[in-house]
Every structure is written in C-alpha cells, then in structure tokens.
Amino acid sequence: MTNNNIRVRFAPSPTGKLHIGGARTAIFNWAFARANQGNFVLRIDDTDPERSTKENERIITDALSWMGLDWDEGPGVGGPYGPYKQMERMERYQQVVNDLLKRGLAYPCFCTQEELEAARAKAKAEKNPYQGYQRTCRELSHEEVTKRIQAHEPYTIRIKVPLDHPDIVIDDLVHGRVVFSAKELDDFIIMRSDGTPTYNFCTVVDDADMKISHIIRGDDHLSNTPRQVIVYEALGAPVPAFAHISMILGEDGKKLSKRHGATSVEEYQLEGYEPDAFLNYLALLGWSPDGETTIVPRDVLAHTFSLAHVSKNPATFDPKKLDWINKQYLSNMSDEEFAKTVVEPELVKAGLEKRADFEKNASRYLIMAAITKPRVRVAPDVVGLLHFLYTGPTPSIEEKAIRKGLASGGAEASLLEALEVLRGATSWTPEEIDTALHPCPERIGVSNKVFFGALRAAATGSLVSPPLAESIALLGKDLFLARLDHALDVMKCV
Ligand code: GLU
C-alpha cells in the first residue's frame, strides 16, 4: 500500500555521469520513499541544452537500475504527473509565467547586461546594503512594457519578491532551523530572454505539479531554498519539507573529486563491485541506523531509513571501507551463489569459459568458488586467481617461481615423487590428492616448503595460488601430469 502523501524525487541533470554524491542523494530519496510507503519519482532536469545528453541520461538511469533503485514514476514508467523530463515541460513553464504576469507577481525586465553591471557597481560604490537587482523594471507601466515588447527589445521575466516579506524560515529536517532574510533577495529571473526557465523556477513548478512532499538533496542547494520558497508562494502551492544532506569529502577533507579516484557509479560498476554492497556503503555516508552497524542489507535500509538519523556533518568517502563491505557481501554468499553469480559470469566475461558450462560442471564451479571466495576484493578478481587453469600443458612459469620453487635442491625429487604418487590416482578430488601428497615430503626427505613449493610452481606457474590440492583437482589429471613433465623440462635448462 502506498502512502500517497509522501512523495520524493531525484532530479539529476544529465550533464555528466551519476556521481557518488548524486547516487547517495538518490539512495536517500528511494529509501525514504520505501520506508514510508511513499512514491519515488525520477525527473530528468535537462534544461541545459549545451551540456545535457541522451547518453548521460542513459548512464544515469542504468546506474540507478544497477543499484536497484526502482522509481515509481518517471522516464520509462510514466505516471500521473508527467512528462518527467523538463525539456518536455516547456509549455507548462510558459503557462505558469503567463499566469504570474497576469496576476502581477512577475514582470518583464528589459535591462541589458551593461545596465545591470553599472547598477551593481553603483550600489557597491554607495555601500548600499542591498546589492541585488535594483528592481528598475518592476514598476514599468503597462503601456511602456507593451511598447518595448512590440519593438522587439529582449527581456527576461523576474519574480516580484514582496517588499515586506518576513524572514524565510526553513525547518530543515537535517540542518534544523535556517533563517534567511528576505530583504536580501532580489527579484530574480525566472525566465531568460530566450524563453528558457531558470532552475529555481522550473524545479519549483515541477515539484509543486508533482506534489513532492519532501525535497531531499545536497546542501549545496540550501542557499537556493529561500528563492524557491518565494516561487512556491507565488504559485500558491504548499512549501514541501526540506532535508539538505551534507557534502561528501575525500579523505583529505576536500570535496570529493577525480583526484580521489573513481567518482562515478559507472566506474564502480565496471570495476565489478557488488551493487548491494555499493548501495550499503553509500547509504552509510551520512546515515546510520545506530551509529555502528555497517552491514545494512537493501531490505533493511528500505524499512529502517529515517531522516532523523541523517547527520548534518560532511561524510568522508573511504574506499577501504567500501572494499571491506564488498568483501563482506562476497564472503556471505554460499559457495553455490558465489559460483553462479560471480565465478561463472566472470570467467565467461573473460572468455575463459562458455556460458552453458555451469550445470554440467557444477562441482568444478563449487571448488572454484570455495577457493576464490575468501581471496577476492571485487568479483573480477576471480579471473586472476583462476587464470592458471587456462594456460595449457606448458604454461610459462614465473621467474621467481623457477628460482624459488624449481631451482632449489630437492625440487626435482619432489616433482618425480608427485608424478609417481598421482599418476596412479583413481579419483581426482582435492581430498584424495591431499591424502596422497601428504606423506611425500617425509618419504623423500625434503621439507614441506620445498615439496609443495616445487609442486605449486609446476602446477600453477606461480608461488602464489589458491590452495594446492584444489588447484590440482581443478586442473584435471592429464593437464596436471603434463605440467609436471613440463616443469621437469624447464628445470633441465636452469
Ligand atoms: N537538477 C538539480 C541538480 O542536479 C536538482 C537539484 C534539486 O534537487 O533541486 O542539482
């Protein structure tokens, strides 16, 4: 059941990709809607024709979908208050402007850029406490306005801020009470001379039309809020509740930017982070259910999110914590889930396996899952860990593995012993292999380190690999024995 009174929106401008900050704003809006059985609206603020692109719009909606943030109204799903793209709402803005003009709440301003600059310089020189637009055109007569419009003089439309307007008080749900003096507000432009609406105007027209009850957005917009309140009042629309959420900073305390590494959701998606872990981490940037819980699954977030637990202090983006949470999500998967959602897709993506192979090779995939799961930071790491399985019977052996694993005394005897013991093996499971190899070092009088080091170098071409018995089992008997022969050949040359 939805509570139709609670309506929030995420309103990205498609002038770039979806960044961490925007994604966190989207998450808070989504979670607030879900926790209150409200509606989550997606609106595309594409009024900047130079910088908005369809491609960015697609990247943003893909990123939201990847994070599992489903919208109840908006592009692709429609809804009763559409269209949900500002460029498709131009007629509506014009209609509202016309209405405000008719009601004497807005007026055309013919001042040129030079005139505005001269007036500003004069106010400054005179140390006038009010330095905004001097309201030059506010009281032009109807005749003069008509005459100048007919003469094709360019004009903007400005809103009339009531001169006796009391202070504008915002009881922000995150920042608390914030008071703005209306005296300092000038009659700001709501429509440019080319007929395009300004942000402070069209965002309010849309939020009012779309019956948005709570505006949750970055606190860089807090300073726009008094102007927006003036527009709500002119429209005769109820002013929604505001929750301005803090900035996200890098670990050096500076605003998060490219310098701090990946900042777009797309980059994390491509790097292979788990969407649930990413969502979980971003939700904790400024919100916490109790100040200490770090693992908050999606459904818990969707039930427990509350603005009362959102901090007004800036949040710090900590990539190490994101990695830690990602690892938690990976290691909490069962081997079966990890095999199906991580190992198989990643190996297929890397071109090492074919899609259809999973059911046929389920037990093999389960071993791969068990040995890689504790060792990955992000899903694609399984490829590096398992790549040794796909390098054929004569793999190249790392120089260090030759030096430390194969060139040491006792290495040759170790490989010959392993060949001898495993050549006769009838079943090829990790347990069987382990049991067969276990007594070998003692039997031939070498240390475990020498024996297993030589074997690991021969089997995997490296000194670092997932557990050995499992690795040997995964290689299969023929491939493993061929690699031992190959390693013995390599040893002859060192
Ligand atoms: N399109 C605006 C932005 O991306 C929306 C701001 C708002 O939420 O009012 O900054």
| 3-state secondary structure at position 28 | helix
User: Could you tell me the distance, in angstroms and rounded to a whole number, from the CA of residue 12 to the centre of ligand 1?
Assistant: 6
Hey, do 7-74+249-322 and 89-210 end up sharing a CATH topology, with the first three levels equal?
A: no
Report the pLDDT value the prediction gives residue 129, as an integer from 0 to 100. Answer: 84
Q: Which two tokens stand for residue 359?
A: 């059911």
Strand ranges inside 54-101, DSSP E:
none
Q: Which of 47, 56, 199, 212 has most ligand 1 atoms within 8 Å of CB, for mutation? A: 199
pLDDT of residue 58 exceeding 50: yes
For 391-492, CATH gives 1.10.10.350
Determine the atom of ligand 1 nearest the C-alpha atom of 218: 8
* Ligand 1: residue whose CA is nearest its atom 4: 12
Average pLDDT (273-293) is: 95
Instruction: Tell me the per-residue pLDDT of 241-268, one tens digit each, with 9 for 90 and over.
Output: 999 999 999 999 998 888 888 899 999 9
Average pLDDT (382-397) is: 96
Instruction: Answer whether 375's CB lies under 8 Å from 366's CB.
Output: no
Architecture of the domain spanning 7-74+249-322:
3-Layer(aba) Sandwich (3.40)
**pLDDT over 70 percentage in the chain:** 99
What Rg value do the Cα atoms of the chain yield, rounded?
33
Report the pLDDT value the prediction gives residue 1, as an integer from 0 to 100. Answer: 46
Determine the atom of ligand 1 nearest the C-alpha atom of 217: 8
Provide the sign of the torsion angle of the four alpha carbons 347, 352, 357, 363, taken in this order.
negative
pLDDT of residue 201 exceeding 90: yes
| 3-state secondary structure at position 252 | coil
Instruction: Tell me the per-residue pLDDT of 218-234, one tens digit each, with 9 for 90 and over.
Output: 999 999 999 999 999 99
pLDDT of residue 486 exceeding 90: yes
Residues framing ligand 1 (Cβ under 6 A):
11-13, 45, 203, 217, 221
Q: Which of 8, 13, 19, 170 has most ligand 1 atoms within 8 Å of CB, for mutation? A: 13
Q: What is the DSSP letter of 334?
A: -
User: Which backbone phi and psi does 190 adopt, to 5 degrees?
Assistant: -110, -25
Instruction: Answer whether 163's CB lies under 8 Å from 111's CB.
Output: no
pLDDT of residue 360 exceeding 60: yes
Q: What is the DSSP letter of 260?
A: G
pLDDT of residue 359 exceeding 90: no
Report the pLDDT value the prediction gives residue 159, as an integer from 0 to 100. Answer: 98
pLDDT of residue 4 exceeding 80: no
The domain ranges of the chain are 7-74+249-322, 89-210, 333-387, 391-492
* Res. 291 pLDDT band, cuts 50 70 90: confident
* Ligand 1: residue whose CA is nearest its atom 5: 11
Q: Three-state secondary structure along 148-211? A: HHHCCCCCEEEECCCCCCCCEEEEECCCEEEEECHHHCCCCEEECCCCCECHHHHHHHHHHHCC
Residues with Cβ within 8 Å of residue 82, at least 6 apart in sequence: 73
* Res. 3 pLDDT band, cuts 50 70 90: low
pLDDT of residue 71 exceeding 90: yes
Average pLDDT (471-488) is: 97
Reply yes or no on domain 89-210 having CATH 3.90.800.10. yes
Q: What is the dihedral of CA 294, 300, 304, 308, to 10 degrees?
A: 30
The DSSP H or E segment spanning 326 is: helix 319-331
Buried b (16+ CB within 10 A) or exposed e, 27-50: bbbbbbbbbbebbbbbbbbbbeee
- 77-86, 123-132, 373-382, 482-491: which range is least confident on average? 123-132
Average pLDDT, the chain: 95
Burial classification of residue 489, based on how many CB atoms lie within 10 Å of its CB (0-12 exposed, 13-18 middle, 19 or more buried): exposed
Q: What is the DSSP letter of 365?
A: H
Instruction: Tell me the per-residue pLDDT of 432-461, one tens digit each, with 9 for 90 and over.
Output: 999 999 999 999 999 999 999 999 999 999
**pLDDT over 90 percentage in the chain:** 91
